[in-house]
Amino acid sequence: MDVVTWTGRTACALQQALRMTNDDFADHLGVAVRTVANWHATPATVPRTEIQSALDTAYERSSPSVQRRFSILTRPASAAVEAQALRVAIAIVLKGDDVLLVCRRGEGEIRWQFPAGMVKPGADPAAVAAQETHGETGVHCRIREQLGERVHPVTGVVASYFLADHLAGEASNRDPLENADVVWAPRTALTRFIPEQSIYPPILEALA
> Given this model, what pLDDT does residue 106 score?
64
CATH architecture of 80-207: Alpha-Beta Complex (3.90)
Q: Report pLDDT digits (tens) over 3-13.
A: 789 999 899 99
Task: Give percent of the chain with pLDDT exceeding 90.
Answer: 51
Taking a C-beta distance cutoff of 8 angstroms, is the pair 93, 41 a contact?
no
* pLDDT at residue 173 greater than cutoff 50: yes
Q: Report pLDDT digits (tens) over 25-50.
A: 999 999 988 899 889 888 888 898 99
Q: Report pLDDT digits (tens) over 74-110.
A: 876 544 344 445 789 999 999 999 999 999 876 555 5
The domain locations on the chain are 8-75, 80-207
For the chain, the average pLDDT equals 87
Which one has a higher pLDDT value, 42 or 58?
58
